[in-house]
Amino acid sequence: MTGKKENEEFGYDVFIKGNKCYRCEHEWTQREEDKPRICPKCKSPYWDKPKTKFNKGEKK
Ligand SMILES: [Zn+2]
């Protein structure tokens, strides 16, 4: 008997927080608990917000 726990969480996709930028679709992981203010790639402060549709005159 090893007494080793088998229910510990290891492996793929465990305890990983990921971010994805709405603007440039850049994906990254963060280690800080605080949410980053800007995307590290495109520097957009709106990386966590979906693109809003401002153009009312958009033709379909
Ligand atoms: Zn970005």
pLDDT 10s digits, 4-50:
656 676 776 566 678 999 999 999 887 777 888 999 999 999 999 98
CA of 39 to the centre of ligand 1 (A): 5
3-state helix, strand, coil in the chain (%, to 5): 0, 10, 90
CA of 6 to the centre of ligand 1 (A): 38
pTM score: 0.57
Measured CA distances, 28 to 39, 59, 60 (Å)? 9, 35, 34
pLDDT of 38: 94
CA of 49 to the centre of ligand 1 (A): 11
